[in-house]
Chain A
Amino acid sequence: QKEVEQDPGPLSVPEGAIVSLNCTYSNSAFQYFMWYRQYSRKGPELLMYTYSSGNKEDGRFTAQVDKSSKYISLFIRDSQPSDSATYLCARNSQGGSEKLVFGKGTKLTVNP
């Protein structure tokens, strides 16, 4: 079983839609969860991270972690064509190294 499971999509939505991206993870020992965005032919960039359970909001983006169900979500409100990218969920590792475990990524297209 992969440690972080993510539906690869692709997901296509009209401009202005609310987008929900989801991941599940298998090990409840880890505390930090991240969402990275990767544009085509670019490296990933950190969008948001959350610690333990709860919500974190940054503009049109909301990250949510539900530790009881081991579920990670990213919501994008008022989606824009510039949001078209692959979204990668990740968790950190015990021991404090920079070893992140990523999901496969979900490819999102926002159509104008």
Chain B
Amino acid sequence: ETGVTQSPTHLIKTRGQQVTLRCSSQSGHNTVSWYQQALGQGPQFIFQYYREEENGRGNFPPRFSGLQFPNYSSELNVNALELDDSALYLCASSTGGQVNTGELFFGEGSRLTVL
């Protein structure tokens, strides 16, 4: 098991609400990436944080935002929830220096259901 922990594991929200998901990265890792995995799909890159700054963003609207804290933990915030936001949200940490090998350490994810 990786040292990446995510909370909450499951949550249910209604359309229009806001949600905050949390991630603690593996010890020694300074880079956190967030991915969205819809049912039956592969993970899609949302954004990455390196040393508390956003460092790359995928094709997601501004209502998806994030933060990284000095201890390298991270939050993903989604405003104005839509039904299509229902998915497994995965946090992955890495050292930043192993970028090209694609070695990310994923948490078990937060499963969000939007009704």
Q: Which of A4, A41, A45, A90 contacts B102 (CB 8 A)?
A: A90
Report how far A41 CA is from B107 CA in the complex, Å.
Answer: 11
Contact B33 A43 (CB under 8 A): no
Report how far A103 CA is from B42 CA in the complex, Å.
Answer: 5
Contact B108 A6 (CB under 8 A): no
Q: Smallest Cβ distance from B24 to chain A, in angstroms?
A: 13
Contact A44 B94 (CB under 8 A): no
Q: How large, as a class, is the contact surface on chain B?
A: 20 to 34
Interface string of A63-87 (1 = CB under 8 A from B): 0000000000000000000000000
Contact (A99, B43) CB under 8 Å given A45-B106, A49-B102, A90-B102: no
Q: Smallest Cβ distance from A29 to chain B, in angstroms?
A: 13
Report how far A72 CA is from B36 CA in the complex, Å.
Answer: 23
Q: Smallest Cβ distance from B109 to chain A, in angstroms?
A: 6
Contact B4 A43 (CB under 8 A): yes
Report how far A96 CA is from B31 CA in the complex, Å.
Answer: 12
Asked whether A102 is an interface residue with its Cβ less than 8 Å from the other chain, the reply is yes
Give the total number of A-B pairs whose CB atoms are below 8 A apart. Answer: 77
Contact B99 A46 (CB under 8 A): no
Contact A8 B40 (CB under 8 A): yes
Contact B108 A42 (CB under 8 A): yes
Contact B100 A98 (CB under 8 A): no
Contact A32 B55 (CB under 8 A): no
Q: Which of B90, B103, B108 contacts A41 (CB 8 A)?
A: B108
Asked whether A21 is an interface residue with its Cβ less than 8 Å from the other chain, the reply is no
- Report the nearest B residue to A31, measured CB to CB: B100
B90 cross-chain contacts in A, Cβ below 8 A: 43-44
Q: Which of B40, B44, B55, B109 contacts A102 (CB 8 A)?
A: B44
Q: Which of B41, B55, B102, B109 contacts A100 (CB 8 A)?
A: B102
- Report the nearest A residue to B96, measured CB to CB: A98
Q: Which of A32, A42, A97 has the most CB of B within 10 A?
A: A97
